[in-house]
Amino acid sequence: MASSTARPDVPESAQGPGVARRLLDSSATLSYDPAKEVDWETPLDEDFHGASPEWSTLFGTAYWSEMTEEQRKELTRQEAASVASTGIWFEMILQQLILRDVYAKDPTDDTVQWALTEIADECRHSIMFARGAKKLRAPAYRPPRAAVELGRAFKTLAFGEAAYAAILVAEEVLDVMQRDWMRDERVVPFVRTINNIHVVEESRHMKFAREEMRKHLAKAGPARRNIHAFVIAVAAYVIVTSMVNRKVYANAGLDEERALAEARANEHHKAMLRSSCAGLMEFLASCRLLTKPALAFYKRAHLI
């Protein structure tokens, strides 16, 4: 019954043992308690970066070449804290999306139990990110007002493949960056631990999101698929453009206007985003979600 060649258009549950069951088993084998695993005690060592410098929004710009090594490290620490804060905002949205999805469903079902496990993971992640950002001496970076309000509508209304695709987009974009940061010896050790924990636990969430997308899309007609393709692309745009808060530059002692202008024109950073999203775009294409209007938004966000 188990099949090794997964077909992207067929739910895995129809191809072998249940995905949710395997995820529950995997979670029982390897999960983390960030309160105990992360070194919260050692004071922040300012000799380290907060993220791999190549992921900085200013890496490769004229401004970057003028900055001192200390300024670069302070900037990547503020950027890492901003990504963590945006992560919390998004994790709050996705916890509500998942909770709404399983509301009043059969709790003895593996899928519902997995959904609750994922919510518990995200709850621990958000506390971990909050403590991490504070330890990086960053203020509370919140997304722009328009993004906060769009998120409020999305978490209240989105359902089916739209909900799980938005979850997948946020998790995939974070995944590639965090894989780099967790291996990078220039990054402060406690941030590397945080990223390691997140990468391990999120790989299960991404499997679940892909499976749920396939399941829901199998029931979706062309009109719904087209509308959702567009909604997902807009969600991806909002998520990606909210990742680094504009205040990080002033907090790193830089000129905000100049930094913003150079970051927006930074071809190196756009190329990093595009290459990190290649697998995601391939998956969305296999789900026939890269419609023309959707593509325009992915291009604007430099995801393709």
Q: Do 205 and 171 contact (CB within 8 A), yes or no?
A: yes
Q: Which region, judged by CB under 5 A, interacts with Fe ion, from 50-58, 99-107, 180-188, 201-209? A: 201-209
C-beta atoms surrounding 29 within 10 Å: 7
Burial status of residue 40 (CB atoms within 10 A of its CB: 0-12, 13-18, 19 or more): middle
Min dist CB 5 to Fe ion, Å, is: 26
Choice between 34 and 50, CB closer to Fe ion: 34
Using rule CB under 5 A, residue 269 touches Fe ion: no
CA distance 249 to 259: 7
Pick left, alpha or beta for residue 28 (phi over 0 → left; psi -120 to 50 → alpha; otherwise beta).
alpha
Min dist CB 301 to Fe ion, Å, is: 20
Using rule CB under 5 A, residue 205 touches Fe ion: yes
Min dist CB 204 to Fe ion, Å, is: 8
Q: State the residue for tokens 């900055």.
A: 67
Choice between 205 and 302, CB closer to Fe ion: 205
CA-angle at 191, arms to 190 and 196, nearest 5°: 100
Using rule CB under 5 A, residue 135 touches Fe ion: no
Q: x/- string (CB under 5 A) for Fe ion, residues 84-123?
A: --------------------------------------x-
Q: Which region, judged by CB under 5 A, interacts with Fe ion, from 14-22, 36-44, 183-191, 198-206? A: 198-206
Using rule CB under 5 A, residue 125 touches Fe ion: yes
Number of H helices, E strands in the chain: 14, 0
Choice between 122 and 172, CB closer to Fe ion: 122
CA distance 297 to 238: 10
CA-angle at 173, arms to 278 and 12, nearest 5°: 70
Using rule CB under 5 A, residue 215 touches Fe ion: no
Choice between 52 and 126, CB closer to Fe ion: 126
CA distance 233 to 225: 12
Choice between 73 and 125, CB closer to Fe ion: 125
Size of the site for Fe ion (CB under 5 A): 4
Binding site for Fe ion (CB under 5 A): 122, 125, 202, 205
